[in-house]
Amino acid sequence: MQELSEYRFSTIVSSDEGYVYAGTFGQGILRMSLNGSWQVCSEGLPADVTIYRLQRMGTEIYAATEKGLFMLHNNKWQSAGLEIPCYHIVDSCNTFAMTRCGLMYSDEGEWMPFAYPNRSCYDFLMTPQFLFIALSSGIAYYDMLTGSWDEFAFQHAVTSIAVFRKSLIGVLADGSMVIGNKKGGFITVAFEGMFIYKLATYKGNVFACSNNGLFKIVMLQDRLILQSLGIHCAVTDLVFAETHMLIATLNQGILKNLLEVE
C-alpha cells in the first residue's frame, strides 16, 4: 500500500464499530482498523472510481461515487441499486440519494425520482418546516405546510448546505459561499485566495473545508468569519470523535486534530 500522503482523499467516515473509512479521487477506499493501521478496502468497486461521499446509515456504510451507489457488506462493496453518478445519501424519514438525475428515494429497495430529475442534486437538509436541496442551479426548498416547491437561483451550482445561527448557508461551485439574509434572499461571501469545498456540522458548530485548511464558521458583529483551526493544507472532509477530529486532506494524508471539540 502507498503512503497515506500519496492518496488524494475526498471523504471520511467512521463506523459504529470504530473503524474509519476514507475515500479518494480515483484511488479507492482505505480502512483504518482499531489498532490504527490502514488497509485498502476497495473490493467490489469499479477501477479508478472517484468517491464523492462516504456515509454511515445505522450500521451500514455507503459509498456515493461517480459510478453509482455502493454498500459495504462483509468487507466487500456491492451495488445499492443506483448506477448513475451519486453524490450523497441521507436517511431522513426515507432514504434519499442525491444524484445526477435529481433527488431520489428508496421505495422497498427500488430507487424512484422524488424531485428535480433533470438537474444534478448535491446535498440535502431537512428542518421541521422545510426540506432544502442543493442543485446545479441553486437551492430548492419544499414547504411542508403548503406542500409546494420553490427555488433560489444562483450562477453556480450549490454543492453543500448547512444551517448556521438559524440561517441557511451554502457553498458554490466557484468556492464562494452564500448565506441567508433573513429578508427572503441570500448574500454571497467570498474569501480571497480561498476555495471552500464543503461544510460539516457538529454539535451546533459549522466547519468549512477549503484549499487553505479547516475553519470554524463564526459570526463577529453580524459578519461571517472563518476561524482557523490550525490545519494549513487542502482539507476535503472530517469526521468527529469524542475528543478529536480525523481530517481528510488532498496531499497530507489523514490528520488528527487533538484540540478539544466543543
pLDDT 10s digits, 50-65? 999 999 998 999 999 9
pTM of the model: 0.93
- Yes or no: say if 242 and 213 are a contact pair by the CB < 8 Å rule: no
- The C-alpha cell of 48 is what? 479508478
Distance CA 175, CA 197 (A): 6
Element counts in the chain: helices (H) and strands (E): 0, 27
Residue 173 gets the label, from left (phi > 0), alpha (psi -120 to 50) or beta, of: alpha
Which of 80, 106, 136 marks a domain boundary? Answer: 80
Domain check: are 53 and 134 in the same one? no
Contacting residues for 224 by C-beta, under 8 A, at least 6 apart: 164, 169, 177, 179, 189, 217, 218
- In sequence order, the 6+-apart residues with CB closer than 8 A to the CB of 204 are none
β partners of residue 88:
98
Length of the chain equals 262
Last residue of a domain, one of 139, 171, 190: 190
pLDDT per position as a tens digit, 116-128: 999 999 999 999 9
Structure confidence at residue 241 (pLDDT): 79
Q: Could you tell me if 91 and 185 lie in one domain?
A: yes
Residue 10 lies in a domain: yes
Average pLDDT, stretch 97-105?
Answer: 97
If 0-12 CB within 10 Å is exposed, 13-18 middle and 19+ buried, where does residue 239 land? buried
**Cβ contact 102:111 at 8 Å:** no
Domain holding 107, by residue range, is 86-190
Single residue among 190, 211, 238 that ends a domain in this structure: 190
As a whole number, mean pLDDT of residues 188-201 equals 95
**Structure confidence by residue, pLDDT tens digits, 61-89:** 999 999 999 999 999 999 999 999 999 99
Give just the sign of the alpha carbon dihedral 58, 214, 8, 85. Answer: positive
One domain for residues 64 and 147: no
- One domain for residues 106 and 16: no
User: How many whole angstroms separate alpha carbon 200 and alpha carbon 197?
Assistant: 10
Q: Which residue has the cell 464499530?
A: 17
What angle (nearest 5°) sits at the alpha carbon of residue 170, between those of residues 206 and 7? 70
Cβ atoms of residues 199 and 189 within 8 Å: no
- Cβ atoms of 63 and 70 closer than 8 Å: yes
Task: Show the CA angle centred on residue 110, arms to residues 108 and 115, nearest 5°.
Answer: 105
Number of domains in the chain: 2
Provide the sign of the torsion angle of the four alpha carbons 56, 165, 195, 202, taken in this order. negative
At residue 262 the predicted structure's pLDDT band, cuts being 50, 70 and 90, is low
